[in-house]
Structure 1
Amino acid sequence: MNQSALTLTIAAGTAAGVVIRPFRLPEAVWAVLGAGLILVLGILNLAEIWAGVAKGTDVYLFLIGMMLLSELARREGLFDWVAAIATSRAKGSPKKLFALIYAVGVVVTALLSNDATAVVLTPAVYAACRAAKVNNPLPYLFICAFIANAASFILPISNPANLVIFAGGEMPSLGRWLATFFAPSIAAILITFVALYVMQRRALLSETLAADIPTPALSFPARLAGIGLVATAFVLVGASAAHLDLGLPTFIAATVTTLIVLTVARQNPTGIVRAMDWSVILLVAGLFVVVEAINQTGMTASLASELTAISADSEWQAVAITGIGLAFLSNLANNLPVGLFAGGVVNAAHLSDRLAGAVLVGVDLGPNLSVTGSLATILWLSALRREGITVSAYTFLKVGAVVMIPALIASLAAL
């Protein structure tokens, strides 16, 4: 077996391990194992391995910052409070509660990333449903999974995959980003809402809610956490507008917010640091190494050349092929490795904003088809399991097929 074939075999095995999780080992184990095999077999030397890892520095800082803010908000009960407010405003109406939770999900995803929606908002929504005496919380919990991906390209900060795709290349300025993705984002959010509501309408109509829901008190540290979240959002929007990398501003803003809140609350920072899922960083680092090895096979350059040729004949055809192809591929191999590889193609081909937009829409929105499509959906499943709720892959696929496909077509058309 030649080196290119060996590299692609390791890459395929790594992607399969991340998606299937044999022996129930964490996703990070398979990514690190793949990177280790690339080193041991001499496909990349130590310096090249390190270069691959270093390409993800901005992504690591962004993820650490967002995990800090998410864990801080969870510990202080900020999102429990937000979910309780939404439940009380519903005034006993299941349809109104559905719309309110959806709106909260859009805001949380846009400003804190889709992983925060999965990790933090999901248990808060479940707690709110329990307080409202909801018999079947699943329609509301589905919102957390689907909006996490549907709203994940409103801003560059809305999905770590956005940073992954443009890692090693040029992140569009905020103005270019909004010009490219505002209309597709609105299309994805609206179509996802309508399709999801239609799918869950019967369950909502048969539901009754308690109208008088007590709102938990919001502590002073929780208020500070909320102010810090808003301030961080403004910092990141400003950094994006100034065409700066987003990782370091996220890390600094999150660290300052955390230190202020923990000082006021007189809490030890070790608790929040230990509660964070550091395996995510290892997962992403391992995938960066695997994609670095793939780049050296020449496959990235070959696909970039092919995509450029198709685009020259018909840009709309290239948009459709790219967006739809990556959307379905993200469900077979998870959108993080797919996004990393697609990002290499984007940077190598110097694609137009519209075609690069199709790459990002496919990688961000495509995972709404299946439970293995994105890290956010995997985290959502884990959050449900902690509450004793199980959603099978088939159950999710039945909803995902109705929700994702029309939203994807509408978003690509809006480009």
Structure 2
Amino acid sequence: MSSAPSFYGAITIFILVYAMIILEKFNRTVIAMTGGLVMILVGFLSQEVAIKDDIDFNTLGLLIGMMILVSITRRSGIFEAVAIWAVQVTKGYPISLLALLSIITAVASSLLDNVTTVLLIVPVTLTLTERLNINPMPFLITEILTSNIGGTATLIGDPPNIMIGSATHLTFTDFIVHLAPIAFLILLVTVLLLLLFYRKQLQVEEEHRLQVLTLSPKEQIKDWLLLKQSLFVLALTLVGFLLHGTLHLESATIAMTGAMLLMLVSQEEPEDILLHVEWPTVFFFTGLFILVGGLKSTGVIKALAQWALAFTGGQIELTAYLIIWLSAIASAFIDNIPFVATMIPMLQEMSAISGTHMEPVWWSLALGACLGGNGTLIGASANVIVAGIAEKNGYPISFRHFLFVAFPFMILSIIMAHIYVYLRYF
């Protein structure tokens, strides 16, 4: 049992760090790392525990591996070619373009995972909006939201789903049958509302539209050999992701293997490639993991989970409703991975004691944790990745602006998910 000073001290540090991130007076990577280090310095957790239990090296390895793959692949010119193809399919009209990219992002996020998807789609988006001379912000925010919604639909789309599937032995098909229908409906409503919300910003000068339509996708390819090498290794990597359970390999191992294989066959200069890795994003996650580790070590997250289960009195329907809202709000402000990791044993224990069928509660946890990540700019891995790439390219996404746009959409998605759980299971 943790002491009261450490319990409330960890909460205080956590709130201060998030307040400074929201105020945006200092770089968020520096703030997150400082907050994590303070947790260690004051003794709320040890460096050994942070490294062993709290820093998710699988997530960091996945990020670094995919960043290397994308960095090398970009040199072939494929992103520019895909951008021109997308413009031509939509005739260069931004509203149609936003709708197309939203669907591509959501589908890719469900089949791969949302982190890999945004690493691939955001460079295309920035190239595209630059060509059309339009503001990329509506596209970037929409892609964040749709990547998390798409990732909700399958077992491999978002880390919380992988964790829940592993703990409950629910299959890939189970996730599609139970979560894909509501994820599709939420996607449809979200995209339509975003198109309405951004319609005034989705305007392009006729001169720029016609100019881009004259371009040929093939002419954008700078290195055909590198393109073939990159696509081959990317295909192998994606197959690895789909088969990671069968292969008994973590996603980080697959991503890093793909990255090293492409570096070997392409013979690109390692120093140059590593300079293009989004290191501020990697260190931001590291700080965040340690920060949340402090909450775990002092018993804050466990206390929250225990309160939630005690509040419901063991009633499955009430538990499902509470879990969907609690996990959504918590996942918006706390990384959903440690939260779900704490909730899983709690729910398993409740199931063992009561002997009741808990499947609706597991679906509520998946929906709340995955969709809740859309609540803030640091609510999910995909959000942070897009923010990092956007800032590096001169388009910083404000925490407050994202909160203003995304949080209402997150609440709407949870209301829809709540109704879905009620109609389908109760």
Q: TM range, normalised to the smaller chain? A: 0.7 to 0.9
Alpha-carbon displacement from aligned partner over 1:150-186 (angstroms, at most 9, x marks no partner) = 22334455446666x6699678653454444333432
Q: Which residue number in structure 1 is paired with residue 245 of structure 2? A: 240
Q: Which residue number in structure 2 is paired with residue 2 of structure 1? A: 5
Measure, in 2, the Cα distance between the counterparts of 1:31 and 1:393.
14
List structure 1 runs of 4+ shifted beyond 6 angstroms.
165-171
In the alignment, is the contact (CA less than 8 A) between 2:125 and 2:139 conserved in 1? yes
Shift of 1:135: 4.9
Alpha-carbon displacement from aligned partner over 1:195-252 (angstroms, at most 9, x marks no partner) = 2223234555787532434214432212322232222122111113566533323322
Distance 1:341 1:403, change over 3 A: closer
Measure, in 2, the Cα distance between the counterparts of 1:402 and 1:79.
32
Q: Which residue number in structure 1 is paired with residue 424 of structure 2? A: none
Distance 1:140 1:366, change over 3 A: same
Measure, in 2, the Cα distance between the counterparts of 1:112 and 1:79.
18
Measure, in 2, the Cα distance between the counterparts of 1:388 and 1:36.
29
Alignment of 1:276-355 (within 5 A): 276-309=277-310, 313-331=314-332, 333=333, 335-336=334-335, 338-350=336-348, 352-355=358-361
Could you tell me which runs of 5 or more consecutive residues in structure 2 were left unpaired when the two chains were aligned: 352-357, 422-426
Alignment of 1:202-213 (within 5 A): 202-204=200-202, 208=206, 209-210=209-210, 211-213=213-215
In the alignment, is the contact (CA less than 8 A) between 2:22 and 2:400 conserved in 1? no
Measure, in 2, the Cα distance between the counterparts of 1:46 and 1:396.
33
- Write the letter of the residue equivalent to 1:362: G
Shift of 1:393: 5.4
Alignment of 1:10-409 (within 5 A): 10-17=13-20, 19-20=21-22, 23-27=25-29, 29-53=30-54, 56-110=56-110, 113-131=113-131, 133=132, 135=134, 138-155=137-154, 157-159=156-158, 174-204=172-202, 208=206, 209-210=209-210, 211-215=213-217, 216-218=219-221, 219-240=224-245, 245-260=250-265, 262-263=266-267, 267-309=268-310, 313-331=314-332, 333=333, 335-336=334-335, 338-350=336-348, 352-385=358-391, 388-389=394-395, 396-401=402-407, 403-409=409-415
- Write the letter of the residue equivalent to 2:369: V
Measure, in 2, the Cα distance between the counterparts of 1:390 and 1:43.
33
Distance 1:282 1:161, change over 3 A: farther
CA root-mean-square deviation: 3.7
Task: Report the number of matched residues.
Answer: 403
Alpha-carbon displacement from aligned partner over 1:67-118 (angstroms, at most 9, x marks no partner) = 2223233333332222221111123444432332223322443455434554
In the alignment, is the contact (CA less than 8 A) between 2:165 and 2:171 conserved in 1? no
- Write the letter of the residue equivalent to 2:100: L
Distance 1:255 1:190, change over 3 A: farther
In the alignment, is the contact (CA less than 8 A) between 1:175 and 1:241 conserved in 2? no
Matched position secondary structure for 1:276: coil
Alpha-carbon displacement from aligned partner over 1:127-165 (angstroms, at most 9, x marks no partner) = 22343x4555554444323223222334455446666x6
Measure, in 2, the Cα distance between the counterparts of 1:393 and 1:35.
20
Shift of 1:411: 3.6
Measure, in 2, the Cα distance between the counterparts of 1:286 and 1:135.
34
Matched position secondary structure for 1:368: coil
Instruction: Give me the TM-score of the superposition, normalised by structure 2.
Output: 0.78
Matched position secondary structure for 1:33: helix
Distance 1:409 1:222, change over 3 A: farther
Shift of 1:193: 1.7
Measure, in 1, the Cα distance between the counterparts of 2:398 and 2:54.
34
Measure, in 2, the Cα distance between the counterparts of 1:138 and 1:286.
26
Instruction: Give me the TM-score of the superposition, normalised by structure 1.
Output: 0.79
- Write the letter of the residue equivalent to 2:243: G
